[in-house]
Amino acid sequence: MSVGILAHLLGKQPYKELAAKVAEHGFPYVQLALAKAFTDIDSSLGKLSPGLAQEIGGAFAERGVRIAVLGCYASLVELDDESFRYNVDRFKEHLRNARHFGAPIVATEVGNILGPDSRPQHLERLNLALEELVEEAERWGVTIGLEAAQGHLIDSSETLAETIERFPSSCVGVVLDPCNLMNRQRFEVQDDTIREAFRLLGPRIVSAHVKDLQRAEDGSLKGTAAGLGELNYPLFFQLLEQHKPHGFATLEDVTVPQMAEAARFVREGRANAH
């Protein structure tokens, strides 16, 4: 069973050095967020090209590392017109060039909202963004990976399932991070939360993120490396392998000294789930 890593967790550095570092740690694939990962590449809007993408993808491929997912963390719910346009156009640029990186997926969380009262406006923005992005993804044969996150417009399995129902294209998929679905209340019934995620989203999962959660004395939740917290990973791995055997599973919220043990935890947990 394989496990990948968010590339920038190994430190922002020149792209060839980062590719070598990922290989040195034994990860066969990465989720790559260009702006977070490289010190020698300008990935701002207008700078990506097939040549640049192949140069970066080739540097990783030479080290035996695939780029499983391009991370383009751009808010798709901005109410400011200029910011909204920039983010949508940048995401489209990632979609157009993804195949040259060797990446089948471009992923994002959709963005924070100002508050409950502004939710309808943010939802309208998201719908406008996805209308454009789904068309672009279908044109280039790339999958959009949507990820839920607390505080965002999409913050649960239910809100993510509603979005997919509005945009049922086969080019829209789910990056499933079980920790991102949790707040205090959901964590108290985490098994039900995890099962509901697979019930609603299982067929559309294209990748998974793997980290963990610990409860503080005041009941708040704190992120940590996979295997060091309280998430029911035996259940999560069982359902992940049932729905998406051998699917991408990418470490998040892990320090360099924790990486080897966290990777072992994921590999063994997934193998035991079969």
Which CATH number fits the domain that encloses residue 141?
A: 3.20.20.150
| 97: region left, alpha or beta (phi > 0 left; psi from -120 to 50 alpha) | alpha
Q: What percentage of residues in the chain have a pLDDT greater than 90?
A: 95
CA distance 157 to 148: 7
CA distance 223 to 252: 9
| 241: region left, alpha or beta (phi > 0 left; psi from -120 to 50 alpha) | alpha
pLDDT at 187: 97
Backbone angles phi, psi at 173, to 5 degrees: -130, -175
Over residues 8-33, the pLDDT tens digits come to: 999 999 999 999 999 999 999 999 99
Mean pLDDT of the chain: 97
Across the range 163-178, mean pLDDT stands at 97
- Give every CB contact of residue 240 below 8 A, 6+ residues apart in sequence: 176, 198, 205, 208, 247, 249, 270, 273
pLDDT at 64: 98
Over residues 182-213, the pLDDT tens digits come to: 999 999 999 999 999 999 999 999 999 999 99
Across the range 32-50, mean pLDDT stands at 96
CB-based burial, 159-180: b 16+ in 10 Å, e otherwise: ebbebbeebeeebbbbbbbbbb
Kindly report whether the global pTM for this prediction surpasses the value 0.85. yes
Over residues 78-114, the pLDDT tens digits come to: 999 999 999 999 999 999 999 999 999 999 999 999 8
**DSSP conformation letters of 194-226:** HHHHHHHHGGGEEEEEE-EEEE-TTS-EEEE-T
pLDDT at 252: 98
Q: Which amino acid is at 178?
A: P
Over residues 131-151, the pLDDT tens digits come to: 999 999 999 999 999 999 999
pLDDT at 144: 98
pLDDT exceeds 90 at position 219: no
Over residues 58-82, the pLDDT tens digits come to: 999 999 999 999 999 899 999 999 9
CA distance 238 to 245: 10
CA distance 33 to 6: 8
Strand partners, 69: 31, 105
CB distance 68 to 207 below 8 Å = yes
Place of tokens 């990777």: 263
Sign of CA dihedral 256, 257, 258, 259: positive
Q: How many domains are contained in the chain?
A: 1
pLDDT at 217: 86
- Expressed as residue numbers, the domain containing 43 is 4-272
